[in-house]
Structure 1
Amino acid sequence: MAMETLLAPWAAKSNESRGRLIFEPESATRTVFQRDRDRIIHSSTFRRLKHKTQVFVYHEGDHYRTRLTHSIEVSQIARALARSLRLNEDLAEALALAHDLGHPPFGHAGEAALDRAMQPYGGFDHNAQTIRLVTALEHPYAGFSGLNLCWETLEGLAKHNGPLVDAPIDSQNPPDSLPFGLKEYLRIDDLELHTWPSAEAQVAAIADDVAYNNHDIDDGLRAGLFSLEALAEVPLVRAALDAVDAKFPDIPQDVRIHELVRRLIGRMTDDILTHSRQLIADLDPVSVDDIRGADHAVVYFSPAMKAEVDVLRNFLFTNMYRHRFVRRMTGKAKRVVHDLFTLYMSEPELLPPFWAKIATGPETTETARAVADFIGGMTDRFALRDHEKLFSISASPK
């Protein structure tokens, strides 16, 4: 495509893609990465993100972020970073939109509960579940299972946070340290887990950090979990808030918070761009393979910004994620997931017909994986309704 002639030499090029596992004729109007993005957006898994939580469960308020709104925000930041670094925006966008597809209901609390229940059967990991979803569990197409995404998209989803192993592995005998969904796919397609991913995947990963740190500030303040005065003790926040107050001394509090968050996003992204340009210049790559072959990330915060972001994260961990209100709800969420898993494992005939056919009987590995896939795909509200239907004597069984 014409726009790709403007990309940096080390950017991922659609005409150099390693292709799809199942061959398909290429589109005359869209690149392979654009088609991957579109397939992700049109998937049922992506639609379900609208009722999957970030920190708050779906019924706690209409204005809090969900996995869907978070993914859209990550996509916006990723596109902006990719454009400024002359990287492939379409690949960065596809990875940003898909990076949370594998999350079960109730955020990290739900994942922790499902992983604990699945320990005898290989565990549960949301990144590996993303690979499982886009390569097997989604089935909208007649010619293949999954979405048949191109190699670069799958690579970025598998290892956007960096290499997963230290050296090349035997894909037919992957190490036990790798989570189930990833080990399963490696047997048919090597994603080279010992290397760094493309710069576009690194863009999606750092955009995720920028998005969730800042929208958790907004959501935490909106929920009253901490005050703006307490948050302003974080140096990064204090500097941005002082800039807001100096320019707009009499604005309403909600506008003040929005101006704060947009400045924090701006400061973080400006830092990423400045530092990443220096990292790339020092590496002096001539191709995307040089990015993969580096021994470090090339898209990241500067050390100074990383230290400031860590202070912010520590504040959010103490004052938001460990807040008694959040812990009370996540405790309930874990019990819902545990109850559903335990019941379906002992009575797999209660599963919907599609999943019941996969189950091989009570307490088997095959049944455990079917149950994990079924629960993992639930939204918050579906899980709560299913739990009520199965455990409340007065609830309708339908």
Structure 2
Amino acid sequence: MQGEFGGLIGFGSAGRAAYAIDPAASRGRLHPEPASPTRTPFQRDRDRIIHSTAFRRLNNKTQVFLYDEGDHYRTRLTHTIEVAQIARALARALRLDEDLAEAVALSHDLGHTPFGHAGERALDRAMAPYGGFDHNAQSLRVVTRLERRYPDFDGLNLSWETLEGLVKHNGPLMAPDGDPADLPAAIRAYSAEQDLALSTFASAEAQAAAIADDIAYDAHDIDDGLRAGLLDVRGLAEVPFLAGIMDEVARLHPGVSGPRLVNEIVRRVITRMIEDVIQQSLATIAAADPRSADEVRHLGRQTVGFSPSLAEADRAVKAYLKRHVYRHERVMSVMRAAERLVERLFERYFEDPAALPDEWQPRAEDAEPARRARRIADFLAGMTDRYALREHKRLFDAWPDLG
């Protein structure tokens, strides 16, 4: 591999910290390409992700609530956009490469199935005899194999640093002496082509994208839970962190109610968490004093993250949402039905590959069951909610009842 960036007009590194990723020193792409005269490698990655088919499909994939429950609930796409905005804010404050943080954030959910984690659970069960299914590994598969846009290679041919961040944003995937056989199949297969240093932490930029995902989840699931009537504002006081924010809002804006109250609570959740991550991460960086991005990778711990007190608050918020939103019977009944739908589709395609669309028909090399199953998983994981419903109607002559 070789680096691709040099001499971008008007681009300087004066504002970038020593521990940030330098786009001029990128490790390049699996398939070398001429450098862009106007974009860094990570700006180019971001643009390729945004223009991909998989990115567009996120608009019709469930976050928590199905598309037909209302137009204002988050989808997998709007969630991704919110994560990217928070990741950029963190990267800017920490003097990281904002474009890399954004690219990792924009790509992190490309492998998600229809119907959110319900679809992932169903597909993982169906794929259990064939290596299982993991949405993070599927995201790697999407950007390295399944997107078919360029004449010279499959996938998007993203830079090494973006792929590293996509795969490892939540931490190392194996110990230095670990067994690669324990990795998800898609990651293990790609690692044979390009070493992503799976035993180290990812860059600070990727870590910023990961914590941005947590912040976005907490904030927008409170917002959507209130909109859906599964939560009420007074009940939020069950979580001390949220109770403190509500007291602050009541003191500063007495009498505020309705959507204005909800927005004020949600925006303060986001602000408080972002400010905590910035303060804590700067302290962690100052103590460790990493002089390069590679030193960040080898610190042996996260560099970008919450303080201990906010980490506890984050756990409390997630536990509250799990009890009152994710495990609410209204949500669970829909998700159980969605799981059955995905399982039925998989079983039908596996038993009758001719039921697949022409472009997804098994090829000669897919005669082996595990390869055929992976091809079906690729097809299913790429579906939107609406497409999965239409496929069920086509194959079983019935619209599934999702509650």
The answer to whether the 8 Å contact 1:346/1:363 transfers is no
The answer to whether the 8 Å contact 1:131/1:182 transfers is yes
Change (3 A) 1:254 1:191: same
Aligned partner letter, 1:304: S
What are the equivalent positions in structure 2 for 1:1-398 lying under 5 Å apart?
Answer: 1=8, 2-167=11-176, 175-358=180-363, 364-392=369-397
Structure 1: 5+ residue stretches without partners? none
Partner-residue secondary structure (3-state), 1:4: coil
Q: TM-score, normalised by structure 1?
A: 0.96
Q: How far is the alpha carbon of 1:4 from its aligned partner? A: 2.7
Partner-residue secondary structure (3-state), 1:6: coil
Q: How far is the alpha carbon of 1:249 from its aligned partner? A: 1.4
The answer to whether the 8 Å contact 1:114/1:338 transfers is yes
Q: How far is the alpha carbon of 1:252 from its aligned partner? A: 3.2
Distance 2:104 2:224 in 1: 24
Distance 2:124 2:62 in 1: 17
Distance 1:41 1:394 in 2: 32
Q: How far is the alpha carbon of 1:247 from its aligned partner? A: 1.4
Change (3 A) 1:390 1:304: same
Q: How far is the alpha carbon of 1:274 from its aligned partner? A: 0.6
RMSD between aligned alpha carbons?
Answer: 1.5
Change (3 A) 1:234 1:351: same
Paired residues, number = 391
The answer to whether the 8 Å contact 2:362/2:372 transfers is no
Q: How far is the alpha carbon of 1:322 from its aligned partner? A: 0.3
Distance 1:127 1:288 in 2: 23
Structure 2: 5+ residue stretches without partners? 1-7
Change (3 A) 1:394 1:180: closer
The answer to whether the 8 Å contact 2:169/2:207 transfers is yes
Q: Deviations over 1:56-109 (max 9, x none)?
A: 112111110001000000010000000000000000000011100010101111
Identity score, percent: 54
Partner-residue secondary structure (3-state), 2:181: coil
Aligned partner letter, 1:183: R
Change (3 A) 1:327 1:8: same
Aligned partner letter, 1:47: R
The answer to whether the 8 Å contact 2:362/2:375 transfers is no
Q: How far is the alpha carbon of 1:363 from its aligned partner? A: 8.0
Partner-residue secondary structure (3-state), 1:332: helix
The answer to whether the 8 Å contact 2:392/2:399 transfers is no
Distance 1:175 1:25 in 2: 33
Q: How far is the alpha carbon of 1:52 from its aligned partner? A: 0.5
Q: How far is the alpha carbon of 1:357 from its aligned partner? A: 3.6
Deviation beyond 4 Å, 4+ runs, structure 1: 359-363
Distance 1:237 1:107 in 2: 26
Distance 2:236 2:397 in 1: 42
Distance 1:162 1:377 in 2: 25
Distance 1:233 1:328 in 2: 25
The answer to whether the 8 Å contact 1:102/1:128 transfers is yes
Distance 1:379 1:25 in 2: 35
Distance 1:216 1:371 in 2: 31
Q: TM-score, normalised by structure 2?
A: 0.95
Q: How far is the alpha carbon of 1:143 from its aligned partner? A: 1.1
Partner-residue secondary structure (3-state), 2:96: coil
Q: How far is the alpha carbon of 1:394 from its aligned partner? A: 9.4
